[in-house]
Structure 1
């Protein structure tokens, strides 16, 4: 679909600045969508106050209590809402079931000693809050853009805060859909008459296919501004305790690579390689989101949960003694640099391996990350693999030994004793309810629970 002339004209506000000014004085944009029966929706670009040219000073240690967290995923309804709730005939019954499911989960998490929930509010190109930028998530009703009859983020915040628990809004920044099926495309096209409509119909020129999914091209400045505006909307209007990006930056597979050759030709001048340019794009997003969050609400934490390996020692003398997939080389995310520059309040690397996994030993990576954050005020929360507990594995048999409890204990012991580690996050909530993890859940309750 051709982009309306109004969008192009509005975008010139952003593109007329020099590259130096774009990277130094980035503006958080609020995207207001409007439509009526006779005209297609227009994408209005309205600047929020400009943010500081340099990253603001780190906020220092605010949270003395160690984080005992859990990720609660909504993409594909992995943890919530219940699949069964979407199929009920009565909207009132659906709302009741979804709310009860969430409060039951919070009660269980509270009993386990969990004090922070990382709640996925943007699983793709849709929202689990009342947004003027994104349509309502089909995870709630089965249909993109259908009002669920309540605000899940507001409800989660209210109920978690009542229980003394914190909530970080978890965003997948670039994902638009989890597949490229014709039925998915048709549903996106049907949002054209909605306000707000999907980014797929408003900004088709931003959309690429990668990893067999529809994604935004991270090399397009306006797309990064749009993502920043989404974060700004949540931070400005909801009492979230934090904001988190997951590890999906440049997310592609060998069989479904992201074709950004035209974008590179347009914006990649001055870079010796496409890889360096891609890392620069990811860096710009992190910089502008960091500055925007700190300007809007300095008390809100901004963090990233990247792949556990930054770079391997065989590629970089500053890397870890590992042989795992590296965020720097594969997701084009220089996560170590973000810590060194003070752009993050916390980093939560996903260390999803046991102590004995030679290619990526848990203790080797935990110590490496603790050394990275040592000179900075960035807090380190370690993501651990609850999803592997109790699952038979030829390469990692520890997860089934005594129900996985000894391995879990070793990891928690290290997290709670090694200086520099400020908490643990479990991936992910629904595995607390599975038969194979119950020995580990009982152990967690005895260790953390009230």
Structure 2
């Protein structure tokens, strides 16, 4: 953890507001506004236990641990959103009145996790704590992936069991029939349930609409086909009705909710339909899946479109560049955001002659996307395949974090939402911290410093507690006191004494639900505000030079002061990005500047922290703080 001594008497009162946070605010708005910030997301698949969970279990601890691993992995790569598959086969990874618990989650359909654990609620909370959006991904019509055997094993409350007349067969598997109004209503109600019950940032549909042209829906066509002479046109209209109704009813509940669809990359070839893409590959979703995705965009029924362009640049029949440009032209002027679905699963081939050898194809696609102003981001398929490919995950860490790389400071961790202060009691007495600069104020754990990890709330209160003194210079922190009063702070946790101290002295409060959330990250603005509170400043410091820190920003005065003192600097585009999560290494650098502590001139001891090599940008700063 990191510790510092530089506090002044009125500081605790300021921090009472600073560290008494409420729940995270929505990351950003949807629709046309989404293009204002690049969308960098990862699909997390639950079907077949591809990504989550790795093995079905009812154990909440195991489910939490795996969720944390994935979310932190996404944040580490510079992503700002996760698209989690929450309804893979008309079943659910959350308690639902419409769908049974998924067998991919617990091993048996209809069986809930132990102890009343709600995986989706946990994913949403933890994603937001890391500054990530969480989009709920649903498959609208799929019932089985393993044919008749799986159909026979469905739980008694599965919609296909309750309504066998809704089920149609195709190629050995089973689907709810999109041609039935009752089925479309079920899909809409299922999405409404998610929007009402969870603080998800988006609802996401993938490309599973009609599974093929020989779908067994003759009875539904006879009943509902009406004036349609062509079954294909009727099927497309059924999907259109679902897409339109879903958007209207979701936005009636939550207007800010992002609603998007990820169709197959090719709408139609130009030789099939005038205005189609310059492709000749044979798979056209307009005909194969009866998905008129171009119409959804032109009509503005969705907030974003995410075509799965799963071919490389230069492909003879399905050229990535041609398809991406076609989609860019399609969304132009519509207000619908364009995110490109990318084939990360293809990358890493070992044959140098393979177009997907290494990461070169992905790098070329990212570079092309940057040249298309209509492309507002990418979505990557899928988490485990990216995480297991060291070169690919390194590419995203370098590419996505470089976009926000500061001039003189390292790449920060992913964005954290701006906390809203809640009042806490005035501290009982005055607090100071030692400013002698003679001792170490940081330490690691197990020989590691974790320089690129986000500074957490627990570590932030450790900054206060470890070296806090009264006006007579007496240390106030008592390591024996572990009763913090927060239900999510175990008495045996390393940070329990620090949190107990912070609460006892009115330094930090909790959230409205009574929790402290010790692992939640701290933002750049929060750290600067925290530091500035302990310096005598003659009034306001004036306006900042950062365009993203307006005069009305809650930390504007502190940021202006810190910049004037030379503690902080901005990014190449002139921004400060106040809500960006601050790392442990960044914290040390800023603290050293505030303390006037110079970087260590000697590199010894070389083995102080094994994860801070000679080449690390902040090595000298970290050594100066640790010695």
Superposed displacement of residue 384, structure 1: 0.6
| 1:367 pairs with 2:325 | yes
TM-score by length of 1: 0.80
| 1:155 pairs with 2:112 | no
Q: Report the equivalent of 1:186.
A: 152
Counterpart-to-counterpart distance in 2, 1:76 and 1:307: 21
CA deviation vs aligned residue, 1:380-404 (integer Å, no higher than 9, x gap): 000110000013689x82211xx12
Alignment partner of 1:124 out of 70, 84, 89 = 89
Q: Report the equivalent of 2:139.
A: 172
Q: Report the equivalent of 1:52.
A: none
Alignment partner of 2:63 out of 98, 101, 108 = 98
Q: Extract structure 1 runs of 4+ deviating beyond 4 A.
A: none
SS of aligned partner of 1:117: strand
CA deviation vs aligned residue, 1:239-278 (integer Å, no higher than 9, x gap): 110011100000137xxx3211111111112012000000
Structure 2 unaligned regions, length at least 5: 1-29, 402-410, 412-627
| 1:67 pairs with 2:39 | yes
| 1:445 pairs with 2:397 | yes
Q: Report the equivalent of 1:247.
A: 207
Determine if contact 1:307/1:349 at 8 Å carries over to the other structure. yes
* 1:163-242 alignment, distance < 5 Å: 163-182=130-149, 184-188=150-154, 191-192=155-156, 197-242=157-202
Counterpart-to-counterpart distance in 2, 1:337 and 1:372: 10
Alignment partner of 1:81 out of 36, 40, 53 = 53
Which has a greater percent of strand? 1
Counterpart-to-counterpart distance in 1, 2:133 and 2:171: 33
Superposed displacement of residue 98, structure 1: 1.7
Determine if contact 1:82/1:98 at 8 Å carries over to the other structure. no
Determine if contact 1:59/1:298 at 8 Å carries over to the other structure. no
Superposed displacement of residue 144, structure 1: 0.7
Counterpart-to-counterpart distance in 2, 1:440 and 1:165: 20
Count of residues in Structure 1 that have an aligned counterpart in Structure 2: 370
Q: Report the equivalent of 1:114.
A: 79
Alignment partner of 2:239 out of 282, 300, 307 = 282
Structure 1 unaligned regions, length at least 5: 1-57
RMSD: 1.6
Q: Report the equivalent of 2:469.
A: none
CA deviation vs aligned residue, 1:300-337 (integer Å, no higher than 9, x gap): 01110000000001111110000131110110010000
TM-score by length of 2: 0.58
Which has a greater percent of helix? 1
| 1:430 pairs with 2:384 | yes
Alignment partner of 2:226 out of 254, 258, 269 = 269
Counterpart-to-counterpart distance in 2, 1:241 and 1:63: 15
Determine if contact 2:34/2:337 at 8 Å carries over to the other structure. no
CA deviation vs aligned residue, 1:71-120 (integer Å, no higher than 9, x gap): 0000111111021x53xxxx5xx221121011011111101001010100
SS of aligned partner of 1:398: coil
Determine if contact 2:148/2:172 at 8 Å carries over to the other structure. no
Counterpart-to-counterpart distance in 2, 1:312 and 1:343: 23
Counterpart-to-counterpart distance in 1, 2:177 and 2:170: 10
Larger Rg: 2
